[in-house]
Amino acid sequence: MLRESLKGESIQSQKARESEKIPQIIHDINVFKDMDIFIQKHQSNIIIVKFYSENCSLCKAYTPLFEEFHEKYGNDFYFVQSNVEDDLLLSYKYKISELPTTLIFREGIPCYKRIGPITHLEMDQKLGQLKK
């Protein structure tokens, strides 16, 4: 069933996204080139990316929430986590200046950016809105 077109999303993208089966895993992508390939390959789907660092205490606190939302919305969206310490080009390309940062991609383009930890309510509202 096609949903009412999301702001900026074409009907063709909706059809492709709805027909593609999304695997139930959080993808670990820590290399700039691999991130670009992943986003291009899955541009018909919504992709949620958590940028983090192993040494970041706020990032560690955010991880259980990110995993919880993966459990809840893993059939609807791709979830990716990216350690920016592994490839600084990731930080440069996506303008990551503070951690954690959450980026949501629609049709291969960032459509939402949240710097710092995101609240449970805010994340639930945003993902629920994107699911419609």
CATH number of the domain where residue 107 is located: 3.40.30.10
Give the span between the Cα atoms of 68 and 71, in whole angstroms. Answer: 5
115 in a structural domain:
yes
- In this prediction, residue 3 carries a pLDDT of 31
Across all residues in the chain, what is the average pLDDT?
87
- Domain range for 68 is 22-131
Q: List, for residues 73-106, the tens digit of each pLDDT value.
A: 999 999 999 999 999 999 999 999 999 999 999 9
67 in a structural domain:
yes
Q: List, for residues 107-123, the tens digit of each pLDDT value.
A: 999 999 999 988 899 99
38 vs 3, residue with greater confidence: 38
Specify the 3-state DSSP secondary structure of 11.
helix
- In this prediction, residue 14 carries a pLDDT of 53
Q: List, for residues 55-66, the tens digit of each pLDDT value.
A: 999 999 999 999
Helix locations, 42-83, DSSP H: 57-73
Q: How many independent structural domains does the chain possess?
A: 1
Q: Whose structure tokens read 């959080």?
A: 26
6 in a structural domain:
no
79 in a structural domain:
yes
